Chain A
Amino acid sequence: MTQALDEIKIGGLGASRKRVEDDRFIRGKGNYTDDITLPGMLHMEILRSPLAHARIKSIDTSKAWEIPGVHLVLTGEMMATRNLAWMPTLSYDTQAVLATDKVRFQGQEVACVIADDPYIAKDACEAIDVEYEPLPAIVNPVQAVADGAPVIRDDKENQPDNVIYNWEVGDKTGTDAAFEQADMVSKLELHYPRSHPSPIECCGSIADFNRATSKLTVYMTTQAPHIIRAAVALVAELPEHMIRIISPDIGGGFGNKVPVYPGYVCSILASILLERPVKWIEDKSGNLISTGFARDVYLKGEMALRKDGKILGVRMHTDADHGAFFSDAQPSKFKIGLMHSAFAAYDLPAAHLTARGTYSNKAPGGVAYRCSFRVTEAMFFQERMMQAAATDLGMDQAAFRRMNFVRDEDFPHRTPFGFLTDSGQYAKCLDVGLRAIGYEDFRAKQAVARKNGKLLGLGISTMTEPLGAGNSREFDILGIKMFDSAELKVHMTGKAILRTGAKTQGQGHETTWAQIVSHELGIPAEDVVVEEGDTDTAPFGMGTYASRSTPVAGAAVAMVARKIRAKARKLAAHLLEVSEEDVEWELGRFYVRSAPERGVTIQEASMAAYSNMPDGMEPGLENTAYYDPPNLTWPFAVYIVTVEVDPETGVWDVLNMVAVDDCGVRINPMIVEGQIMGGLTEAYAMANMQFITFDAEGNCVGSNYMDYLLPSAWETPGFELHSEVVTPCPHHPIGAKGIGECAAVGGPAAFVNAVLDALDGTGVRNIDMPLLPDRVWEAITHRRDISGAPPVRADD
């Protein structure tokens, strides 16, 4: 009776518990949006613009209406009569739902057809005749601000040009002074190319408006169902309690499924008009050319350095191409997201960042693709700049970083841009990584290889990522503060159901949240069922992205479990007939301090909540916690890659990759490692092959998986993961930090730095991602930088 529970055995904190959700997925019994069929359901298809920039002269839908099985053809004009031709974006701009005046990017939604069958709907889309008057297309920030550039957003008042914002942060005077004192200045300019998160499952929705009850139910691929409910209430002016958003199983999100897309809005309106369920499932080209892209930022900067390697200051400028509508899905109070988290891991006396955002005739979106709002760009620039500076100084890459790291004893540390980092063991992580890769040996091998004409390279990247939006002071979505929530109901037999405001898309919440409950209450994890994604049942929360689930919702899970434990303690005292002060807790059991053999289990206390509560106590054992984190969490990681570059072809192969992640306490080590390997693969993909670009007419190159390459099992290298450094988060209830995105954030620079290290001595300072063989070959052969994506690129 007094034998303490083994936390790992009951699936608590630190257990590599096998995933609960797998049981349905491995049987093909998942329930993704496209798997749902409702009685009387119709199907919607979208007609998209073939042109990037054109005035719409006319839209003739008459032939589409004639096709048997067609129920409705929607155009922008019809949307406008309901004030739905435009919708607000998360970045306080507007976005066309269906185009009325102009099309502003290739793939923009022009009309949609609702029919009995998706094949008929597609036929009918082809029968719609749209007459366009082509306009010159703008595909990069240089063109956007050129004299005489056509104004893309002529729908807006007070928008005489294509500039969305000019913004700055940091200390300009202090930074100027640092540069005056510098012994030398190192410079770097690069483009973080446009990318697309591209989950394998595309976006989709089934809107089901029931006239009899006035209730609108929408099943959809969203990472943030409550935000969608709020948006529908505000945009469509429907009463919030009559809207139910259900996010069923999601086939990957990676940020792509945060925004509100026109397809969702059209399916909702169509269901209201037709009073029947309407399903819209996007095809892959539609997904790649119209939904939330990521990155597309031109970065330049310079670093003020002392001769001995000490960094004195950094200046940065970003030119961000936001596409046709400023619809970045980012909730911070900062125009360019958390770009100014750059250099947070280094002890920098002064820094200043300026940012400009411009429109272009490219898809809008600006999503945080497996990162916390532009942190990927920030960390990429940071680590590319660190490599360039070390090279300019003639210093060892590792020594230069170690010298400038924020030291363990200096936390909490205020970064020059104003963030407060709170914990970490940066040098230790680096040492673990260097040892694992065999740093000294590799350098020796590299020197020998070079004499034999073989190009070996080693790239180091570190990152610290501000994860877990909010706090509510600096983060909100359309004014709604960024907190999260958990609701726990313990039944009389001690089994429980937990619901949170987050939404899993593969991260394994159904498994890990139960582990937190298990850790706090001693209830075996298998006795806790976890539900998310239904706004009628889940407590209000902001969803899952930016690695915020564990930092925010996960904290709420711990807090609600503690509330339950506090009540259970009173019940235990009642059962043990002692005062509450005399009751002690060990995992899963309350006992009398003076007589430890006298105790009651959490299950017995649960039963008492329904059958034997003390006089005056409210029955039941349920509670809800809302958690507003005091700060972001700051995981740290070191990624080290070795490569061999073939000078004849420009092809490069990964020899080894080592990842050292310090994400604080790991709830489920197996799942954490799965997240890291997934992130490293996306990092490799961005560095090596993922390429979405545009020709001069604004045609999207990369609109399918033949052009937009994702690595397969064959290309993807193996990874060696290290978990020996653990610095718990000082403010998180269980000491955890975010982890889902770190590797995708910090990884790309490691690969690029490795290839450029292999090219050391050729004078090549930069090759923009993706490092395709032709780019690497050209850099080697012509000994020049390959910077700026086509068609910006000036060939000589």
Chain B
Amino acid sequence: MTIVYEDRGDETTADVPVRRIKFTINGQKMIAEVEPRLLLSHLIRRGLQLTGTHMGCDTTNCGACTVLVDGRPVKSCTMLAVQADGHEISTVEGLAGPSELHPLQEGFKQEHGLQCGFCTPGMMMAAKALLAENPDPTEDEVRWALSGNLCRCTGYQNIVKSVLWAAEKLRGSGA
């Protein structure tokens, strides 16, 4: 990421350290030059312009920024971009192709699993990790798997239904 500074006749700008990292985002190989302190969530949102990953609390509590790193759900506000070096990241934008929907996306619409939509991408990514590990979860297992993701609108009942809807569809399709 390029930052242009005003030239004040000193060399302070040169002090900003930059690291080069290589990673995969939604299947695409990328290289980025980042400040070591840059958060992964900011690399995704500002560097890659993938704004579907939201930031709610920037303290690892709300889960709105959940992405998958090598298939595991991670709250990207509490991981540094440099830690993504050599890893595979998936975001909501990578769930399905341009004119397709992932069963989770369908499920959330069918079961009214979202209202304001802010927690939804993180919620779906956490659910995706669950279903990859456990294709036929119970309601309790869904609730436990999503307990790191907060929603203020829905009361969760429909989110749980959405995930179970998606699980059933995924099982049916043999995916």
Complex Cα–Cα for A119 and B34 (A): 13
Does B89 have its Cβ within 8 Å of any Cβ on chain A?
A: no
User: A604 CB to closest chain B CB, in angstroms?
Assistant: 33
Q: Which residues from chain A contact B3 at a C-beta distance below 8 Å?
A: 69, 116-117
User: A506 CB to closest chain B CB, in angstroms?
Assistant: 3
Whether the Cβ atoms of A674 and B50 lie closer than 8 Å is no
Does A21 have its Cβ within 8 Å of any Cβ on chain B?
A: yes
Complex Cα–Cα for A677 and B115 (A): 11
Whether the Cβ atoms of A28 and B109 lie closer than 8 Å is no
Known A22-B109, A200-B62, A251-B116: A712·B147 in contact at CB below 8 Å? yes
Complex Cα–Cα for A355 and B64 (A): 41
Known A249-B117, A678-B115, A712-B148: A202·B56 in contact at CB below 8 Å? yes
Which residues of chain B in 55-85 are interfacial with respect to chain A, using CB atoms and an 8 Å cutoff? 55-59, 61-62, 64
Known A28-B91, A704-B61: A678·B154 in contact at CB below 8 Å? yes
Q: Which residues from chain A contact B38 at a C-beta distance below 8 Å?
A: 119
Q: Which residues from chain B contact A200 at a C-beta distance below 8 Å?
A: 54, 56-57, 62, 64, 116, 118-119, 150-152
The chain B residue sitting closest to A673, CB to CB, is B112
Complex partner residue of B57 from A253, A704, A716, CB under 8 angstroms: A704
Complex Cα–Cα for A714 and B37 (A): 33
Complex partner residue of B59 from A30, A678, A682, A706, CB under 8 angstroms: A706
Does B158 have its Cβ within 8 Å of any Cβ on chain A?
A: yes
Q: Which residues from chain B contact A705 at a C-beta distance below 8 Å?
A: 57, 59, 61-62, 150
User: A562 CB to closest chain B CB, in angstroms?
Assistant: 29
Whether the Cβ atoms of B146 and A22 lie closer than 8 Å is no
Whether the Cβ atoms of A251 and B117 lie closer than 8 Å is yes
Does B101 have its Cβ within 8 Å of any Cβ on chain A?
A: yes
Whether the Cβ atoms of A716 and B155 lie closer than 8 Å is yes
Complex Cα–Cα for A680 and B156 (A): 11
Q: Which residues from chain A contact B22 at a C-beta distance below 8 Å?
A: none
Does A86 have its Cβ within 8 Å of any Cβ on chain B?
A: no
Whether the Cβ atoms of B115 and A119 lie closer than 8 Å is no
Complex Cα–Cα for A164 and B134 (A): 58
- A22-60 Cβ-contact flags toward B at 8 Å (1 or 0): 111111111010110100000000000000000000000
Known A34-B55, A506-B116: A710·B155 in contact at CB below 8 Å? no
Complex Cα–Cα for A670 and B92 (A): 25
Does A681 have its Cβ within 8 Å of any Cβ on chain B?
A: yes
Complex partner residue of A19 from B12, B35, B112, CB under 8 angstroms: B112
Question: Chain A interface: which size bin?
Answer: 35 or more
Complex Cα–Cα for A679 and B153 (A): 8
Does A198 have its Cβ within 8 Å of any Cβ on chain B?
A: yes
Q: Which residues from chain A contact B159 at a C-beta distance below 8 Å?
A: 713
The chain A residue sitting closest to B107, CB to CB, is A26
User: A706 CB to closest chain B CB, in angstroms?
Assistant: 6
User: B2 CB to closest chain A CB, in angstroms?
Assistant: 11
Which residues of chain A in 250-293 are interfacial with respect to chain B, using CB atoms and an 8 Å cutoff? 250-254, 283-284
Q: Which residues from chain B contact A18 at a C-beta distance below 8 Å?
A: 109-110, 112
Which residues of chain B in 135-152 are interfacial with respect to chain A, using CB atoms and an 8 Å cutoff? 142-144, 146-152
Does B93 have its Cβ within 8 Å of any Cβ on chain A?
A: yes
Whether the Cβ atoms of B58 and A30 lie closer than 8 Å is no
Whether the Cβ atoms of B112 and A718 lie closer than 8 Å is no
Whether the Cβ atoms of B143 and A252 lie closer than 8 Å is no
Known A68-B13, A678-B154: A30·B117 in contact at CB below 8 Å? yes
Complex Cα–Cα for A410 and B112 (A): 38
- B1-18 Cβ-contact flags toward A at 8 Å (1 or 0): 001111010001100000
The A interface, classified by DSSP as helix, strand, loop or mixed, is loop
User: B113 CB to closest chain A CB, in angstroms?
Assistant: 9
Q: Which residues from chain B contact A283 at a C-beta distance below 8 Å?
A: 58
Complex Cα–Cα for A24 and B142 (A): 24
The chain A residue sitting closest to B119, CB to CB, is A200
Does A508 have its Cβ within 8 Å of any Cβ on chain B?
A: yes
Whether the Cβ atoms of A680 and B155 lie closer than 8 Å is yes
Whether the Cβ atoms of B114 and A28 lie closer than 8 Å is no
Whether the Cβ atoms of B118 and A252 lie closer than 8 Å is yes
- A167-204 Cβ-contact flags toward B at 8 Å (1 or 0): 00000000000000000000000000000001111100
Whether the Cβ atoms of A26 and B152 lie closer than 8 Å is no
Whether the Cβ atoms of A678 and B155 lie closer than 8 Å is yes
Complex Cα–Cα for A673 and B158 (A): 10
The chain A residue sitting closest to B124, CB to CB, is A26
Complex Cα–Cα for A168 and B101 (A): 58
Whether the Cβ atoms of B50 and A199 lie closer than 8 Å is no
Does A505 have its Cβ within 8 Å of any Cβ on chain B?
A: yes
Complex partner residue of A252 from B52, B108, B146, B152, CB under 8 angstroms: B152
User: A47 CB to closest chain B CB, in angstroms?
Assistant: 17
Q: Which residues from chain B contact A90 at a C-beta distance below 8 Å?
A: none
- B101-131 Cβ-contact flags toward A at 8 Å (1 or 0): 1000100111010111111110010000000
Q: Which residues from chain B contact A508 at a C-beta distance below 8 Å?
A: 115
Known A28-B53, A718-B157: A678·B109 in contact at CB below 8 Å? no
Q: Which residues from chain A contact B167 at a C-beta distance below 8 Å?
A: none
Does A719 have its Cβ within 8 Å of any Cβ on chain B?
A: yes
Q: Which residues from chain A contact B5 at a C-beta distance below 8 Å?
A: 68-69, 116
Complex Cα–Cα for A673 and B111 (A): 11
Q: Which residues from chain B contact A201 at a C-beta distance below 8 Å?
A: 54, 56, 64, 116, 118
Does B160 have its Cβ within 8 Å of any Cβ on chain A?
A: yes
User: A45 CB to closest chain B CB, in angstroms?
Assistant: 13
Complex Cα–Cα for A252 and B154 (A): 11
Whether the Cβ atoms of B147 and A674 lie closer than 8 Å is no
Q: Which residues from chain A contact B24 at a C-beta distance below 8 Å?
A: none
Does A507 have its Cβ within 8 Å of any Cβ on chain B?
A: yes
Whether the Cβ atoms of B115 and A506 lie closer than 8 Å is yes
Whether the Cβ atoms of A713 and B142 lie closer than 8 Å is yes
Complex Cα–Cα for A677 and B160 (A): 13
Q: Which residues from chain B contact A506 at a C-beta distance below 8 Å?
A: 114-117, 153
Q: Which residues from chain B contact A715 at a C-beta distance below 8 Å?
A: 147
Known A249-B117, A252-B153: A706·B6 in contact at CB below 8 Å? no
Does A671 have its Cβ within 8 Å of any Cβ on chain B?
A: yes
Known A22-B108, A251-B116, A506-B116: A198·B59 in contact at CB below 8 Å? no
Smallest CB-CB A-B distances: 7 pairs: A28-B52, A25-B117, A251-B118, A506-B116, A705-B61, A506-B115, A28-B92
Q: A28-B51, A68-B5, A69-B5 are in contact. List 20 more A-B contacts (CB 8 A).
A: A22-B108, A25-B120, A26-B109, A27-B92, A27-B93, A28-B50, A28-B121, A198-B152, A201-B116, A202-B56, A251-B118, A252-B118, A252-B152, A505-B116, A507-B115, A677-B157, A678-B152, A705-B61, A714-B143, A718-B157
Interface residues of A (CB under 8 A from B): 18-19, 21-30, 32, 34-35, 37, 68-69, 116-117, 119, 198-202, 249-254, 283-284, 505-508, 670-671, 673-674, 677-682, 704-706, 710, 712-716, 718-719
A–B complex contacts, Cβ < 8 Å, 30 sampled: A21-B117, A26-B101, A28-B50, A28-B91, A28-B92, A28-B121, A37-B49, A68-B8, A116-B3, A116-B4, A201-B64, A251-B116, A251-B117, A251-B119, A284-B59, A671-B112, A674-B115, A674-B154, A677-B155, A677-B157, A704-B61, A705-B62, A705-B150, A706-B59, A712-B147, A712-B149, A713-B142, A714-B144, A714-B147, A716-B156
